[in-house]
Amino acid sequence: MSGPILLGLANNAAIMMSLAVIYQISYLTRFRETQRGKLINGFLIGFIVTIVMSFPVNIAEGVLFDTRTIILSTAAFTFGAVPAAIASGIAIAYRIFIGGTGTAMGILIILSSFTIGILWRRYISHRISIPMFLNVYLLGITVHLSMLACILLLPRVLRFQVLKDFIFPVVLIFPLVTVFLTMLLLRQKEREEYLLQLEEAQARYKSLFYHNSSIILLIDPENGSILEANPAACRFYGWSEDKLKSMKISDIDPIPVKHLFEKYGDALPESQISFVSKHRRAAGEPADVEVFPGSIDLAGKKLLCVIMHDVSSRVAAEKRLLESESRFRQLVEGAPEAIYIRAGNRFAFLNPAAVSLFGAQSAEQLIGAQVFERYHPDYLPIIQKRIGLLSKDSKVMQPVELIFLRLDGSSVWVEVVSMILFDVQMEEGLPDIKCRSQQIQQVLMNLLTNSRDALNEKYPGCHKNKIMNLTCRRMEKDGKPWIRTVVEDHGVGIPKEIQGKIFEPFFSTKPKDIGTGLGLSISFGIIRDHQGVLRIDSREGRYTKMILDLPADNGWTLE
């Protein structure tokens, strides 16, 4: 093979490198996958092909050889059908314009290069389980064997000369150049797609971070420095972004540094745990925030991403509710009358007066014991009759005088008044649930207290319908286990027009000296935080059902 032939092919190879520039431009202009982008790429590739065809190796008059096969097959494999088809059309038009003996052969070479490249891209490449560079090498071999076959269209006198001069570069060099150019474009494609994905991820992060109404801080877990603060954090704390970024989390959260990092550092593994903390603000007043810590990888470093919500109002309301419940407990425990609650036929709660009545030293001595054991044997028939009247026949139960037995066996006369029957129905085999048990107890206490008040309002004295029902059963939602708890009474009910307001803070149907209007609002928030549902079913003057649905597994990680 002569020196001019090698020089001509080298010039062609240099021009082919401009394909990489087109690929780079198509990614930077962001329209590679659009119809307009495909058209523009097709015309640019066609322009490169015409330049390559303008500097051919001339074997004879009208018999021209160049590297168009490499460009068109590579373009079909990497850019796709539309750009490659446009480039092939331009190449065919230019070859017809040049004319000469090898026109038919040149057109067929263009068509075969385009066709093999497209077929390889769509049907062959992904079916061959070999490294990509070998895959592309097979493509190059196939394209250029087809090119040699097209030489048969030349007159006989030229076939031998062409094969003698070109069989070596076509079979050995052209496939290697195809591999080099295609792998260059594929690596460039991978890099550009990675950069685009990174840029899109950064844009999503900025949108979520800066446009989020929640308070968000990025914290260096090594020293507690605040690295980033979103606008919501600046508004909440009252400091500028630059000021916050010059501070440490210990400047905001006043707990000791050691405990601070124990609390925030545990958030590095993904979890759903949150906690409430008291934070300082620029104005000086403290604020209660619920903290949801998590981790984020940024620039190769693991950082704490802390999302916070202002819960000052909720914490204050919970405090007032706990104080209200404490006052109610003090009222019951300080009552001079003996009060006890039974579950089944066993003691579940006794106030101090009841403990004293039965001659016990503490409530623990009686809780779990049989209630019937504390009745005088002569009065057991009366007690059993009262239970039947109340629970089966729904008859009015008037106060009655009985003899109770103390623990030491001595007798004491009492007047028994059971104003409300509490009926509990628990389904067997209920699953355990993930929850904050004290909060759920708080919700149930609030629902039962409301039910009691509704019954006392409708029936000041004894009545057959003065009954509270609590049922608990298993159910399924979306194929997952849930627990449904219903507290039902036949008290005054709630008017339909205000049922939509009962979960609002400070809304109450009770007199101001009885209700704060916070109980149901806080209960609703607690159940929502547990990813559950609290709703009402009520008819004024007839009944009220408070329906509490909780998932058995709410996704929390409990320690």
CA distance 264 to 311: 18
Same domain, 351 and 455: no
Same domain, 230 and 130: no
Task: Judge whether 171 lies within some domain.
Answer: yes
pLDDT at 347 exceeding the cut of 80: yes
DSSP code of residue 304: E
User: How far from 538 is each of 201, 259, 545, 546, CA to CA, in Å?
Assistant: 49, 48, 6, 8
Indicate the number of domains in the chain.
Answer: 4
pLDDT at 545: 94
Task: Judge whether 288 lies within some domain.
Answer: yes
pLDDT at 114: 95
Same domain, 23 and 137: yes
pLDDT at 9: 54
Same domain, 44 and 89: yes
CB neighbour class for 265 (10 Å; exposed up to 12, middle 13-18, buried from 19): middle
Of 87-91, 193-197, 226-230, give the lowest mean pLDDT range: 193-197
Task: Judge whether 559 lies within some domain.
Answer: no
Supply the range of the domain harboring residue 248.
212-310
pLDDT at 10: 56
Q: 172 pLDDT band (50/70/90 cuts)?
A: confident
> Can you tell me the mean pLDDT for 224-230?
90
Residue with more model confidence, 93 or 408: 93
Residue by residue, DSSP assigns 100-149 as STTHHHHHHHHHHHHHHHHHIIIIIGGG--S-HHHHHHHHHHHHHHHHHH
Q: For the chain, what percent of residues have pLDDT higher than 70?
A: 78
pLDDT at 397 exceeding the cut of 60: no
Same domain, 150 and 248: no
Range 231-237, long-range pairs (CB < 8 A, 24+ positions): 233/308, 236/281, 236/287, 236/308, 236/310, 237/279, 237/281, 237/282
pLDDT at 1: 47
pLDDT at 262: 60
Q: Letter for the amino acid at 9?
A: L
Residue with more model confidence, 322 or 49: 49
CA distance 94 to 169: 24
pLDDT at 446: 84
Top mean-pLDDT range of 92-96, 125-129, 252-256, 431-435:
92-96
Query: In angstroms, how far is the first alpha carbon of the chain from the final one?
Result: 78
Of 118-127, 266-275, 531-540, give the lowest mean pLDDT range: 266-275
- Give the domain-ending residue among 357, 388, 418: 418
pLDDT at 351: 86
The overall average pLDDT reported for the chain is 80
Task: Judge whether 461 lies within some domain.
Answer: yes
**C-beta separation of 527 from 550 below 8 A:** yes
The beta strands (E) that lie in 242-313 are given as 275-279, 287-298, 301-310
CATH code assigned at 189:
1.10.1760
Q: 186 pLDDT band (50/70/90 cuts)?
A: confident
Same domain, 250 and 342: no
pLDDT at 271: 46
Handedness of CA 524, 525, 530, 533 (dihedral sign): positive
DSSP H or E segment with residue 401 = strand 400-405
Q: 353 pLDDT band (50/70/90 cuts)?
A: confident
Q: 268 pLDDT band (50/70/90 cuts)?
A: very low
DSSP H or E segment with residue 60 = strand 57-60
Q: Which residue has the tokens 């470093």?
A: 301
The beta strands (E) that lie in 184-300 are given as 215-219, 226-229, 275-279, 287-298
Q: 518 pLDDT band (50/70/90 cuts)?
A: low
pLDDT at 14 exceeding the cut of 80: no
Residue with more model confidence, 490 or 559: 490
Residue with more model confidence, 34 or 214: 214
CA atoms within 13 A on the CB side of 245: 8
CA distance 175 to 170: 7
Taking only the tens place, the pLDDT of each residue in 285-305 is 889 998 888 888 777 788 888
Same domain, 323 and 284: no
Residue environment code for 168-188, b if the CB has 16+ CB neighbours within 10 A, otherwise e: ebbeebbbebbbbbbbbbbeb
Q: State CA 91 to chain mean position distance.
A: 52
Same domain, 43 and 96: yes
Same domain, 326 and 407: yes
pLDDT at 507: 60
Please name which of 470, 467, 468, 465 lies closest in space to residue 486, comparing C-alpha atoms. 470
**C-beta separation of 153 from 108 below 8 A:** yes
pLDDT at 236 exceeding the cut of 90: yes
Same domain, 92 and 19: yes
CATH code assigned at 328:
3.30.450.20
pLDDT at 96 exceeding the cut of 90: yes
Same domain, 392 and 475: no
> Can you tell me the mean pLDDT for 141-154?
89
- Give the domain-ending residue among 418, 447, 482: 418
Task: Judge whether 379 lies within some domain.
Answer: yes
Top mean-pLDDT range of 78-92, 254-268, 365-379, 516-530:
78-92
CA distance 203 to 200: 5
Q: 440 pLDDT band (50/70/90 cuts)?
A: confident
Residue by residue, DSSP assigns 165-193 as HHHHIIIIIHHHHHHHHHHHHHHHHHHHH
CATH code assigned at 526:
3.30.565.10
Task: Judge whether 32 lies within some domain.
Answer: yes
- Give the domain-ending residue among 185, 203, 221: 203
Task: Judge whether 385 lies within some domain.
Answer: yes
Complete edge-to-edge strand list for the sheet that includes strand 467-477: 421-426, 467-477, 480-489, 543-551, 533-539
Of 247-256, 273-282, 383-392, 415-424, give the lowest mean pLDDT range: 383-392
Of 27-36, 55-64, 302-311, give the lowest mean pLDDT range: 27-36
Same domain, 467 and 508: yes
pLDDT at 142: 93
Task: Judge whether 558 lies within some domain.
Answer: no
